[in-house]
Structure 1
Amino acid sequence: MPRKTATARRAEVLDETLTQIRALGMAAVRVADVAEASGVSPALIIYHFGTKERLLSEALVHACAQDLSTLDSIVTGPGSPAARLLAALDWYSPTGPARGWTIWIDAWSVAIRDRALAKVLADLQRRWTDAIAAVIDDGVAAGVFHTADSAAAAARLTSFLDGLAVRSVVHKARLPRRELRSWLINQLTCELSVDATVLPNA
């Protein structure tokens, strides 16, 4: 049986770290538990990641990587700017398939006292908002959206969905998908002065 590459082993450790985060919460994860579940020594994890904090940060980046790749394919793919924007926000929303919101919200909590993790979160958030802003710019160029600051509009739209995610995950107040779509349409029409008839399934 061929030996696993360092890259494959690293991915396994990050996957197991995410499993531990989901089960225990980010603050309670121990390097020893991740090592045991991954079949490696704690010393090996420290050798590759340096600290537990860096391990957690890299696990978060690992968790978001595929979703960010999918988001990029949505916003640069075919379809009108309105269709691509709504598809991207549907992907981002708490009822969509993107990211484990439980992990993301857990990370926000830990980042209040962890400046390094806070920076990682800010970098990841910027990548999401930059992608949303890019498709808003396409809509402005096409005369469909109207805003003087696409980055600020993207930040407000994603913050709106962040808030709904907290309500859904923490307070267990999960909105039906149809109702969330209605709220999102209302937010888009106000934020971008867009005619709701150009939005798919509005």
Structure 2
Amino acid sequence: MTKAERALETRERILKAACEVIADIGFENVSMRKVAEHAGVSKALLHYHFDTREKLFAEAMTHSFAQTGTEAEVGGDGAPAAVVLARILRSMLPSDAELRQDWKLWQELWVRAQRDRTARHLAVDLYDQLHAWVGGAVERGIGTGEFTECDVAAVSTLVLALCDGLGIRLMLDDPRVDLATARSTIWRAIAPALGIGPDFPEL
């Protein structure tokens, strides 16, 4: 392994550890020492890669977002547009332990964004990327004739709003909203605009 590869591997390990620690105890309780211990690196090495908690938090959020997007980027396997969109929706709801951790990070970001301009800009930027991600899937479906022509921006905004609202209910373990209910609610809301059936696709 080259020096550059070792540095990249260390950085990835630190970011993974930061995501786990922040999700576990909250950003306000996180110290660089705790992250370093969790990552199995020295505090000096951690500071070499990230000189402040704020920069580490921003990188951890971006890392978490990128990992989720990579795992759900499945448009190249020839799946129908509805299935591709459903996979994206699945990744945007807290449906398993890893996605619940992502949601805890988002909740930390929402809180910080109310008081910190940098965090607010990061949140808006990540939402822009989510909007483009959903919109891209809808546009592909329109292009292949699987979806009807529609206001792509409006559909994307609706998807994000519903995922946020229902995702919070899922994180709270609200007995009125389970995962199947959340998925079907979102799908029924967007299906008329896309000209597709109201049932969430089998994945």
Runs of 4 or more consecutive aligned structure 1 residues displaced over 6 Å after TM superposition: none
Shift of residue 96, structure 1, vs aligned partner: 5.8
Query: Aligned to 2:77, what secondary structure does the other structure show?
Result: coil
Contact 1:25 1:106 in 2 (8 A): yes
Cα distance, 1:53–1:13 mapped onto 2, change above 3 Å: same
2:149 maps to what in 1? 146
Counterpart amino acid of residue 93 in structure 1: L
Query: Partners of 2:72 and 2:196 in 1: how far apart?
Result: 24
What does residue range 29-108 of structure 1 map to in structure 2 within 5 Å?
29-72=30-73, 74-95=74-95, 99=99, 100-108=102-110
| Cα separation, partners in 2 of 1:36 and 1:84, compared to 1, 3 Å | closer
Partner of 2:28: 27
Secondary structure of the structure 1 residue equivalent to 2:190: helix
Q: Which moved more, 1:192-201 or 1:158-167?
A: 192-201
Quote the residue 2:115 is aligned against.
113
* Range with bigger deviation, 122-131 or 158-167: 122-131
Q: Report percent identity of matched pairs.
A: 24
**Distance change (3 Å), C-alpha of 1:130 and 1:172:** same
**Deviation of 1:109 (Å):** 1.1
Query: Contact 1:82–1:198 at 8 Å: present in 2 too?
Result: no
Of 41-50 and 132-141, more deviation after overlay is shown by 41-50
Question: 2:92, 2:148 → 1: CA distance?
Answer: 20
Render the CA deviation track for 1:100-128: whole Å, top value 9, x for unaligned.
21221122112211222222222222222
Q: Deviations over 1:21-61 (max 9, x none)?
A: 12210122111222233344434323321211001111111
Task: Calculate the TM-score normalised by the size of structure 1.
Answer: 0.82
Where structure 2 has 5 or more consecutive residues not aligned to the other structure, the ranges are: none
